């Protein structure tokens, strides 16, 4: 089982991003996903900056993958996407079928990101035919769903053609909108957002009127209020999940990586901190703790 | 420009046809469609009756099979496609690439429309779905009118837009808020914020709505209490209490009709398969009048006050919005 760092979901200043990836280079992580996946107005780093980081990480022995935008609306966003898809060097994670279209046209194999609706063996089989080499499960799927899917006879002959990856740590990306909720929280319109999300390196917490954390606002993205944490489920993932993904946090990401690695076979289980959840994997409501 | 109306039952379907719908869309009585609510939708027999009725009136029937198939019960989605074709559906509204592929290969001559649940928001995504021979794309409600216009001008495929009804503010088919709260996902169970998880309580004269135990909103006695759709709740951000994601309001595009017509949008979709026949009748009547007025003289189209009045009465919280079509909403 390998470990990956998902793309940074929040809008961090360039220096902080670079610092984070210098730490990643020195860490025990196997795979690193780089790129802006939430909002195309966030331009602290451009593709060339990411490519520089990609080379630095590769030299440090990491496999690097460029992750792409999830909600693509404007023609300018498609042009930028094409530059990612045709970088000619690094593997690309498609977070919209538009990216799959571009990669497929070029005959380039790809990672299918968690926001692409692949829910069953027949969809997976079709995607493998298009060049999928790694499938990141939609966040709402459970262990049972994955087991059921992988046991279907119609994919046995291609089981060696793809890897499975699971987002197992971090606030879950749950929705994308035309509207920017961070701008709205500051009474700004999206057109006049002034990139105010840079002030919230962990997003803005939303609580219910009786104090439960329900969501985290991250620009046009809405995240889970609780942090997803499957550290204690790692032993059950053996043979089922090839890559375990951690979503970069404002603090403590690499400490958690160490804890995850230490509990690979259940040697060092952790009490789940308050504010963490693991429901989806256990076939419960996502916010639940099983 | 087609008027496409919703029906969750045969009486609603008849109401739509009688009041001037060009086409009606329905779903089967199971989780193969995104309005899988108790007491709603048609079984195989009713579907055949519906198709017969619609065709006798020279209109069209679209069948939504727009959720994502489960690994263990793929057969149910296959059966849904087979049933719809057998009943005589004029078009299938599909989202799952597995179901799209099956329908394209098994029934190449039956029209396939890309459901809004497939979340095709850009030209490259539309191009992707062309491999399944889709002839029409239902556009997500996250796009601005400017973006709709750009797609209409750059894609040689028929476009359908949502004209009225409940407003999904998230890219449809990629929203997991409901399953995060309840374990049931629109994508796989066919319902958002399912009624089985809703609870109403009264505390100190205030009405509280909860979804699977989570407080969605509190209403003062003089406030209208809306259904606890979780994206329309009132929550707190740093001490401020407001509708953090969206107010309870309905999408209404009457004023955009000339623009949508000019861009060659082929179909206007009215949301609301979960609504009553009376609701469908009133809505259909207004939209029929509006479209007829538009077609008579597109250059001088004006929204009649009585149309807006009827629509406001049928709207969530009696409020309507242009939603993402208007940039200021974003």
At B168-215, the pLDDT tens digits run 899 999 999 999 999 999 999 999 999 999 999 999 889 999 999 999
Other beta carbons within 10 Å of A15: 9
Q: What is the pLDDT along chain A (290 residues), one digit of tens a residue?
A: 999 999 999 999 999 999 999 999 999 999 999 999 999 999 999 999 999 999 999 999 999 999 999 999 999 999 999 999 999 999 999 999 999 999 999 999 999 999 999 999 999 999 999 999 999 999 999 999 999 999 999 999 999 999 999 999 999 999 999 999 999 999 999 999 999 999 999 999 999 999 999 999 999 999 999 999 999 999 999 999 999 999 999 999 999 999 999 999 999 999 999 999 999 999 999 999 99
Q: How confident is the model at residue B321, as a pLDDT?
A: 87
Q: Which of B166, B167, B168, B165 is nearest to B283 (CA)?
A: B165
Closest Cβ–Cβ partner in B69, B147, B177 for A119: B69
Q: Mark residue A136 as left, alpha or beta (left: phi above 0; alpha: psi -120 to 50; beta: remaining).
A: beta
Q: In B, which residues are within 8 Å of A288 by CB distance?
A: 183
Strand-pair partners of A112: A94, A135
Dihedral (CA of B255, B258, B263, B268) sign: positive
φ, ψ for residue B73, nearest 5 deg: -125, 35
**Interface contact A212-B215, CB threshold 8 A:** yes
Interchain CB contact of B234 with A (< 8 Å): yes
Would you give the end-to-end CA distance of chain B in angstroms?
A: 27
Smallest Cα distance from A108 to chain B, Å: 15
Say if residues A24 and A33 touch (Cβ distance below 8 Å). Answer: no
φ, ψ for residue B211, nearest 5 deg: -125, 115
φ, ψ for residue B270, nearest 5 deg: -100, 125
Smallest Cα distance from B26 to chain A, Å: 23
DSSP conformation class of B92: E
Dihedral (CA of A52, A94, A223, B271) sign: positive
Find the angle CA(A7)-CA(A8)-CA(A10) to the nearest 5 degrees. Answer: 140
CA–CA gap between residue A222 and residue A139 (Å, rounded): 13
Strand blocks (E) in A181-233: 204-207, 213-218, 221-229
pLDDT tens digits, one per residue of B284-322:
999 999 999 999 999 999 999 999 999 988 887 778 888
Q: Tokens in use for A246?
A: 């951690």
Interchain CB contact of A208 with B (< 8 Å): yes
Find the angle CA(B97)-CA(B103)-CA(B107) to the nearest 5 degrees. Answer: 160
DSSP conformation class of B329: G
Smallest Cα distance from B218 to chain A, Å: 8
Q: What is the pTM of this model?
A: 0.97
Q: In A, which residues are within 8 Å of B330 by CB distance?
A: 178-180, 189-191
Q: How confident is the model at residue B320, as a pLDDT?
A: 84
Interchain CB contact of A188 with B (< 8 Å): no
> Could you say which residues from 86 to 115 on chain B have a Cβ atom under 8 Å away from some Cβ of chain A?
95-98, 101-102
Other beta carbons within 10 Å of A279: 22
CA–CA gap between residue B79 and residue B85 (Å, rounded): 10
Say if residues A146 and A124 touch (Cβ distance below 8 Å). Answer: no
Residue of A nearest to B169 (CA): A177
CA–CA gap between residue A121 and residue A123 (Å, rounded): 6
Q: Which of B124, B90, B240 is nearest to A207 (CA)?
A: B240
Say if residues B28 and B84 touch (Cβ distance below 8 Å). Answer: yes
Interchain CB contact of B171 with A (< 8 Å): yes
Q: Tokens in use for A255?
A: 């400490």
Say if residues A148 and A102 touch (Cβ distance below 8 Å). Answer: no
Q: Tokens in use for A130?
A: 């298009």
CA–CA gap between residue A260 and residue A252 (Å, rounded): 12
CA–CA gap between residue A108 and residue A91 (Å, rounded): 8
Closest Cβ–Cβ partner in A78, A152, A177 for B122: A78
CA–CA gap between residue B230 and residue B197 (Å, rounded): 11
**DSSP H or E segment with residue B214:** strand B214-219
φ, ψ for residue A3, nearest 5 deg: -120, 140
Q: Which of B106, B6, B105, B117 is nearest to B68 (CA)?
A: B117
> Could you say which residues from 148 to 187 on chain A have a Cβ atom under 8 Å away from some Cβ of chain B?
148-149, 152, 172, 174-181, 184-185
Q: Tokens in use for B40?
A: 């709603």
Q: What is the pLDDT along chain B (330 residues), one digit of tens a residue?
A: 999 999 999 999 999 999 999 999 999 999 999 999 988 999 999 999 999 999 999 999 999 999 999 999 999 999 999 999 999 999 999 999 999 999 999 999 999 999 999 999 999 999 999 999 999 999 999 999 999 999 999 999 999 999 999 888 999 999 999 999 999 999 999 999 999 999 999 998 899 999 999 999 999 999 888 899 999 999 999 999 999 999 988 899 999 999 999 999 999 999 999 999 999 999 999 999 999 999 999 999 999 999 999 998 888 777 888 888 888 888
């Amino acid at each position: 089982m390998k470990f990956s760092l998902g793309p940074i979901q929040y809008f961090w200043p360039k220096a902080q991003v670079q610092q984070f990836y210098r730490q990643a280079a020195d860490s025990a992580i196997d795979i690193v996903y780089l790129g802006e996946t939430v909002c195309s107005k966030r331009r602290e780093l451009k593709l060339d900056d990411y490519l520089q980081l990609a080379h630095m990480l590769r030299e440090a022995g990491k496999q690097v993958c460029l992750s792409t935008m999830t909600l693509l609306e404007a023609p300018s966003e498609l042009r930028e996407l094409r530059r990612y898809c045709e970088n000619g060097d690094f593997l690309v994670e498609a977070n919209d079928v538009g990216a799959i279209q571009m990669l497929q046209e070029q005959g380039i194999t790809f990672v299918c990101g968690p926001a692409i609706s692949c829910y069953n063996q027949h969809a997976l089989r079709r995607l493998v035919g298009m060049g999928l080499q790694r499938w990141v499960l939609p966040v709402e799927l459970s262990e049972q769903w994955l087991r059921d899917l992988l046991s279907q006879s119609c994919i046995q002959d291609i089981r060696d053609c793809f890897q499975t990856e699971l987002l197992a740590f971090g606030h879950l990306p749950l929705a994308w909108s035309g509207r920017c909720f961070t701008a709205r929280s500051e009474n700004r319109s999206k057109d006049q957002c002034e990139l105010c999300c840079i002030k919230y390196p962990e997003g803005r917490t939303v609580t219910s009127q009786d104090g439960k954390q329900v969501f985290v606002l991250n620009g046009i993205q809405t995240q889970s209020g609780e942090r997803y944490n499957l550290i204690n489920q790692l032993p059950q993932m053996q043979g089922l999940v090839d890559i375990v993904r951690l979503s970069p946090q404002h603090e403590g990401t690499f400490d958690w990586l160490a804890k995850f690695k230490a509990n690979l076979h259940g040697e060092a289980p952790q009490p789940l901190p308050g504010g963490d959840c693991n429901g989806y994997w256990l076939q419960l409501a996502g916010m639940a703790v099983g | 420009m087609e008027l496409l109306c919703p029906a969750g039952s045969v009486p609603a379907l008849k109401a739509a046809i009688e009041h001037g719908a060009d086409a009606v869309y329905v779903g089967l009585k199971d989780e193969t469609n995104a309005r899988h609510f108790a007491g709603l939708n048609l079984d195989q027999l009713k579907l055949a009756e519906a198709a017969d009725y619609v065709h006798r009136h020279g209109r069209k029937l679209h069948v939504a099979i727009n959720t994502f198939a489960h690994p263990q019960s793929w057969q149910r989605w296959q059966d849904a496609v087979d049933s719809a074709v057998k009943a005589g559906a004029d078009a299938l509204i599909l989202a799952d690439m597995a179901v799209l592929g099956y329908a394209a290969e098994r029934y190449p001559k039956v029209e396939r429309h890309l459901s809004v649940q497939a979340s095709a928001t850009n030209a490259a995504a539309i191009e992707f779905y062309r491999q399944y021979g889709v002839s029409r794309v239902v556009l997500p409600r996250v796009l601005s009118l400017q973006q709709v216009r750009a797609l209409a001008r750059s894609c040689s495929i028929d476009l359908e837009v949502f004209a009225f009804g409940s407003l999904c503010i998230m890219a449809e088919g990629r929203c997991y808020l409901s399953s995060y709260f309840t374990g049931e996902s629109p994508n796989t169970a066919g319902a958002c914020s399912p009624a089985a998880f809703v609870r109403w309580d009264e505390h100190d004269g205030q009405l509280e709505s909860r979804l699977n135990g989570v407080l969605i909103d509190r209403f003062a006695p003089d406030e209208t209490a809306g259904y606890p759709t979780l994206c329309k709740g009132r929550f707190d951000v740093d001490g401020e209490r407001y509708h953090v994601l969206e107010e309870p309001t309905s999408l209404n595009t009457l004023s955009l009709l000339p623009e949508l017509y000019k861009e060659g949008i082929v179909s206007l979709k009215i949301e609301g398969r979960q609504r009553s026949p009376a609701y469908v009748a009133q809505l259909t009547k207004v939209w029929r009048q509006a479209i007829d007025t538009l077609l008579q003289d597109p250059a001088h189209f004006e929204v009649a006050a009585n149309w807006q009045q009827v629509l406001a009465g049928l709207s969530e919280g009696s409020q309507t919005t242009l939603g993402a079509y208007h940039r200021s909403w974003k």
